[in-house]
Chains A and B, each alone.
Chain A
Amino acid sequence: QSVLTQPPSASGTPGQRVTISCSGSSSNIGSNYVYWYQQLPGTAPKLLMYNNNQRPSGVPDRFSGSKSGTSASLAISGLRSEDEADYYCAVWDDSLSGVVFGGGTKLTVL
């Protein structure tokens, strides 16, 4: 049972917009920056978003992040087949004094 709650799966067709949610609490999302990672099959995770809504260079602007209160979300617009991957949110938890990851969302491009 993860401290951060993500839907286990999401799907969309090419060109669609998909949103993945990440729900936490005041000790994590409510008081710290949220990070988002993409993990393609058989590979290490890759940073998609930092500080809630900042994209590292090289990440397409089809990806966007937001945070409100104790929840965050990752939006992917103009869905492409290569976006099919697992997506994880992560944040520091002040109560646990540790990083917590969401359970991950498997995105399928239909």
Chain B
Amino acid sequence: DTEVTQTPKHLVMGMTNKKSLKCEQHMGHRAMYWYKQKAKKPPELMFVYSYEKLSINESVPSRFSPECPNSSLLNLHLHALQPEDSALYLCASSSQEINSPLHFGNGTRLTVT
């Protein structure tokens, strides 16, 4: 069982839709991450929140909008996506200690039609 929970597990959306991905952790971690992963590639960092503040945005298009309502929750709002945005979206969390690993959620498999 993963300690980081992501919903939904699968999502199919049209290019005009608005949807949100959700992530929750109760490990007291203060760093939370969104990654995008395409087939046969490593996870690609999108956003990092530290103490509920956005600390890193890896030049992600504005059609992806992150939100951190509190220390346990992380959302990714999606609007006007393109078919090439289809991928596995992974949420992760970690403590701020240097030796702390990332803990990943199960991911949301997104298909944009």
Same complex origin of A and B:
no
A residues adjacent to B (C-beta < 8 A): none
